[in-house]
Structure 1
Amino acid sequence: MHAYRSHTCAELNKSHVGDTVRLSGWVHRVRDHGGVLFIDLRDHYGMTQVLCDPDSPVFAEVEKVRSEWCIRIDGNVKARDEDLVNPKIPTGEIEVFIRDMEVLGAAEELPLMVFGDQEYPEETRLRYRYLDLRREKMQSHMKLRSDMVASMRKRMWDIGFREYQTPIITASSPEGARDFLVPSRLHPGRFYALPQAPQQFKQLIMVSGFDKYFQIAPCFRDEDPRADRSPTDFYQLDMEMSFVTQQDVFDTIQPVMQGVFEEFGGGRKVDADWPQISYADAAKWYGTDKPDLRNPIKMQDCSEHFRGSGFAIFAKLLEQEGTEVRAIPAPTGGSRKFCDRMNAFAQKEGLPGMGYIFWRDKTADAVAQELGIPIKDAAAKLKSGEVEGGMEAAGPLAKNIGPERTEAIRQQLGLGVGDAAFFLGGRPKVFETVAGKARNVIGEELGLTEQDRFAFCWIVDFPIFQKDEETGEIDFDHNPFSMPKGGMEALEADPLSVTGYQYDLACNGYELVSGAIRNHKPEIMFKTFAVAGYGEDEVRRRFGGMVNAFKYGAPPHGGCAAGIDRMVMLLADETSIREVIMFPMNQQAQDLMMNAPSEASAEQLMELSLRVVEQE
């Protein structure tokens, strides 16, 4: 028999009754039933119930074991009594009577329990991650991640891509985030960098004549942490193709992504229709470039209804250039209580509040005021049908702008009795983020956002340039390496109207994929950077390797990268990316388990010609 096990803890069933077996695993929990000890023995594959009574030669030793001891047992497989069968686990029809036991690894008092669903502070979980990872949910998440990566890799090979590895130690390159720098021992005072992405290398692979490239690539960025972003490193499915259009990239990556979500989505609906929405429309309709399309709410510009209206705040605001008033429809949100709650939400987000209108059945009070009669008489007239009830608009805005404008707003938004609308005004870039959050909250609270569904959309036509409001200077708004639509001619016109062949894929409110058709022509690249105030010499200094390569017959090419951590997070129904990374950093970019970052010794610093300057 094998030194440690003849079977895993998920293999035994009724066909093994009477067999002598050997199992190894961890003590999940111990139960004492009147002198008979029951142990749930757990390994990576599952659970088996083993038991021991005073007749066993190792009963005294078994009495000593505690949770998370690692043990080996030999025993006889027995059938459980019919009323004790556990249908929830594959081994639920049998149990193993212990004849022999060896302690492979005793455990001290546990800082966190593996058995059960107790909640522990994240710092505790990360400090003892090896214990946290033993829990069933975490085992499931890591298996999901591994299986998903294997599936993605196979799907890419199946459509003609080959996997090539790019360098991990390279030159520093400004790509939107801070680099992790690596000092060079052989070249004192000089630094390598960990790649933020394989961006330049994968483009050079296309210049080298390889038609299709992919890689499960590690990327390193010194970023501030967020719930959906690691502060140090992450993995992505990186791909690039030659002689392709933007639509070719979409048509290539959609079956891969859709197939993965169908395979691992647990039966949830996966949309097959992926609309293409311009960056400008996404901001206007959803307040974000990563909209959650499970929520049907679409914001609308209602500025014309407030120009010259009795609501002075919006009326005066709209006299300023570049301002507008935007409405967020809220079907079924037509109660003062809900409207007040959303107004409080806006105040928490740093705004003075949100204006609102809600529509309800006409009240006796309103009829009494209209006809100049007592409320009691008005109620009787409504009840008898002598006076038609109908619908009325309520809320401060409705009173200020009057019934005609209010009705025009209702008709534009397609709302009725029991519905509401919320309004934000000013420069869109100032209020859009809050408007987008409000849209999400309204959709969730009113039950409008469809659960158990993955809704995808492509965001396209990103602006390449933006103007600094204070200095008036033009700088890059998004990826400067994407090919501008219209090429050189577009760059000669108004820079703020130039959009690029850049695209993101959003799903359920998260950005999952980002990519572009690349700017492969040096003259267009130099012109693009010149518009933003960067001279040709600086472009050559920063991106010389790529610029030089493009002089020797660069093909049109493009691609994208899909964030693996974020995909697993969505599939696992988690809201924190740290739940699906094996050994993540904490919110302060620290590894509490391995004590990183740590101080370097004086010898190490000297060897690298470095000196640490103490900060005040």
Structure 2
Amino acid sequence: MLEHLGEFKRTHYCGDVTGKDVGDRVRVAGWVDSTRDHGGVVFVDLRDRTGKVQVVFSPEISEEIVERAKKLRDEFVIAVEGEVRRRPPGTENPKLKTGQVEIYAEKLQILNKSLPLPFPIEDDVKVGEETRLKYRFLDLRRKKMAENIIFRHRLYQITRRVFNEEGFVEIETPYLTKSTPEGARDFLVPSRIYPGKFYALPQSPQLFKQILMVSGFDRYYQIARCFRDEDLRADRQPEFTQIDFEMSFVTERDVMDVAERLLRELYSELLGVEIGEIPVMTYDEAMDRFGTDRPDTRFGLELKEITDIAKECQFKVFRTVAEKGGIVKAINFKGGAKLSRKEIDELTKFVGIYGAKGLAWIKVLSEGLQSPIVKFFSEGEMNRILERLEAEVGDILFFVADKKDVVNQALANLRLKLGKMAGLIDEDKVNVLWVVDFPMFEWNEDENRWEALHHPFTSPKEEDVEILLESPEKVRARAYDMVLNGVEIGGGSIRIHREDIQEKVFKVIGLSDEEAKERFGFLLEALKYGAPPHGGMAFGLDRLCAIMRKEESIRDVIAFPKTQRGQCLLTGAPDTVREEQLEELHIKIESEENEE
């Protein structure tokens, strides 16, 4: 028979009962984690979000309470009152904070029962993610998941404290706003009051935080919810959270200093890890050495370009690419000469995922060089390659020749794969760096036009403003990304605060005056009324939290995430709605038959 809580008032959380409470009467409540019947004495591990405590139901106290305890099953919800005693010598559990004590139960209230579980409440549970997400209320009871959510809570609190101490003001920006495409599809919300018109959920607070700078709130921050209707993967969600901040009358270094302080305090307080000086690397250097603008600097295997040598060699694949404006780069996989031909073939298929048409290789062996391409190089050319790649006996050299983007992407990913294969990546290491001096624009071949590499409100370098319209490919942005262990965890820029420069940027990316006014008219209008120089940044909170918790997926640091297909398996969203609701919104759903 189930009971009511009645006058019962909890005095302690389960995980807070320790040796200092010996001799005291306590009241605890929670879920039955496990039960054990030892010759008439029933032991129950009782769990709440703080941890577990052992409860003893003994005939010494009451035969009746023992019989009732024998009916308890996993995940029953109970309340217990009893005396705290020290565990007998030899029965202590050093793995638990409460492992020196136990509660001798004098009262037991069974508050609710539980059906048999679809999976056990264990950290190393072997169950598919879909089942975990369907029964998320059970999944969140697992210690690891509960700790992830509490860790995230603490991250929020430290973030707010740091910004408050830096003189920032926390301001919320709207969820229902105007559709201003920023690189991904908007989630649209139909308006009942204005038939045929729509709100959009914000992809970021970008325009509003710039308006706040124009409004005189020179230091703004927000832990902001953002929405993007895009194809998903492990590190993306349709709704996500970012730590967003903006500052007026600042340089890049001012913004970077605030970001560095926040990251240092998060790592220090949450993980006890001290982050030292954070190096700055230009975009060009990052691409040259690592093939990516988010390099993982915890290990070597850096890329080396040999295009100049390739132009002179007789290996047609290399020479043709070099003569047509492509590049040839290589990685020296130290000690990798022991790789089998099968393993090399698998690596060749791997780089093919990123557009590479092949993967050339040379093994450096004690008896000489082994490779099908060695014969196409003169002794002098080969010596130059070996010297540039610092090749030694036992190494294998990998080469990719193609367009610059293909080469960099293929070798950047190959580098990571080889690093993991060889165990070169220290997972406990925390390497942070800034990447700066990004190109302002990138060429969109599909649409045959320039587009902003970050977003169109990023300011060009002052010395590059005069070549904006004539040579957009040479313009550098006042942008900066923070990279942690090969993952971009945050990025920002100094913004455009002058209407004339903003109009030029819109012109470069192919926006007419009418289109610019339609999409961003309210920002352009604000820039006419004394907009101050300003800049800011946003951290991807979900990704940062996942990295700090060493989780592969951000879904494990979000209480109620969506699947990779954007579904909530717990609630069944997205779902159909009643016809009456659609009529109120002046929306009619056409069936697939009608579409055909």
- Distance in 1 (CA, whole Å) between partners of 2:379 and 2:7 is 84
Match of 2:307 among 303, 307, 318: 303
SS at match of 2:373: helix
Q: How does 1:42-81 map to 2 (within 5 A)?
A: 42-55=47-60, 56=62, 57-81=64-88
Aligned twin of 1:404: 380
Aligned twin of 2:3: none
Once the two structures are TM-superposed, the CA of residue 343 in structure 1 deviates from its matched residue by 4.0
Match of 1:281 among 285, 306, 309: 285
The alpha-carbon distance between structure 1 residues 90 and 394, as it changes in their structure 2 partners (threshold 3 A), is same
Q: Is residue 2:271 matched to residue 1:265?
A: yes
SS at match of 1:318: helix
Once the two structures are TM-superposed, the CA of residue 161 in structure 1 deviates from its matched residue by 1.2
Matched residue type, 2:334: P
Aligned twin of 2:405: 429
The alpha-carbon distance between structure 1 residues 282 and 598, as it changes in their structure 2 partners (threshold 3 A), is same
- Distance in 2 (CA, whole Å) between partners of 1:323 and 1:186 is 56
Q: Is residue 2:442 matched to residue 1:438?
A: no
Q: Is the 8 A contact 1:505 1:511 kept in 2?
A: yes
Q: Is residue 2:343 matched to residue 1:341?
A: yes
Once the two structures are TM-superposed, the CA of residue 254 in structure 1 deviates from its matched residue by 0.9
Q: Is the 8 A contact 2:329 2:407 kept in 1?
A: no
Q: With the length of structure 2 as denominator, give the TM-score of the two structures.
A: 0.94
Match of 2:455 among 475, 479, 500: 479
Once the two structures are TM-superposed, the CA of residue 83 in structure 1 deviates from its matched residue by 0.7
Q: Is residue 2:594 matched to residue 1:603?
A: no
- Choose 536-545 or 33-42, whichever is displaced more: 33-42
Q: Is the 8 A contact 2:195 2:586 kept in 1?
A: yes
Q: Is residue 2:14 matched to residue 1:38?
A: no
Aligned twin of 2:566: 589
- Distance in 2 (CA, whole Å) between partners of 1:26 and 1:170 is 44
Q: Among the aligned pairs, what percent are the same residue? A: 39
Aligned twin of 1:381: none
Q: Is the 8 A contact 1:279 1:462 kept in 2?
A: yes
Q: How does 1:102-181 map to 2 (within 5 A)?
A: 102-115=109-122, 117-181=124-188
Matched residue type, 2:203: Q
Match of 1:330 among 310, 329, 333: 333
Q: Deviations over 1:201-243 (max 9, x none)?
A: 100010011111111111111121111111x111111000011
Q: Is the 8 A contact 1:75 1:96 kept in 2?
A: yes
- Choose 408-417 or 173-182, whichever is displaced more: 408-417
- Distance in 2 (CA, whole Å) between partners of 1:201 and 1:591 is 29
Matched residue type, 2:326: T
Match of 2:518 among 541, 552, 556: 541
The alpha-carbon distance between structure 1 residues 317 and 62, as it changes in their structure 2 partners (threshold 3 A), is same
Once the two structures are TM-superposed, the CA of residue 275 in structure 1 deviates from its matched residue by 2.5
Q: Is the 8 A contact 1:357 1:394 kept in 2?
A: yes
SS at match of 2:116: coil
Match of 1:570 among 536, 547, 554: 547
Q: Is the 8 A contact 1:343 1:355 kept in 2?
A: no
SS at match of 2:377: helix
Q: Deviations over 1:251-277 (max 9, x none)?
A: 22111112212322354xx54232222
Q: Is residue 2:389 matched to residue 1:413?
A: yes
Q: Deviations over 1:385-431 (max 9, x none)?
A: xxxxxxx3332333432443222112112232222221101101123
- Distance in 2 (CA, whole Å) between partners of 1:524 and 1:504 is 23
Q: Is residue 2:494 matched to residue 1:531?
A: no
Aligned twin of 1:447: 423
- Distance in 2 (CA, whole Å) between partners of 1:466 and 1:143 is 41
- Choose 572-581 or 501-510, whichever is displaced more: 501-510
Q: Is residue 2:489 matched to residue 1:512?
A: yes
Match of 1:224 among 200, 218, 231: 231
Matched residue type, 1:580: V
Q: What is the root-mean-square deviation of aligned Cα atoms in Å?
A: 1.9
Matched residue type, 1:153: R
Aligned twin of 1:464: 440
- Distance in 2 (CA, whole Å) between partners of 1:15 and 1:466 is 64
Matched residue type, 1:96: I
Once the two structures are TM-superposed, the CA of residue 12 in structure 1 deviates from its matched residue by 2.2
Once the two structures are TM-superposed, the CA of residue 438 in structure 1 deviates from its matched residue by 0.3
Q: Is the 8 A contact 1:25 1:42 kept in 2?
A: yes
Larger Rg: 1
- Distance in 2 (CA, whole Å) between partners of 1:580 and 1:336 is 38
Aligned twin of 1:28: 33
Q: Is residue 2:558 matched to residue 1:556?
A: no
Q: Is residue 2:245 matched to residue 1:239?
A: yes
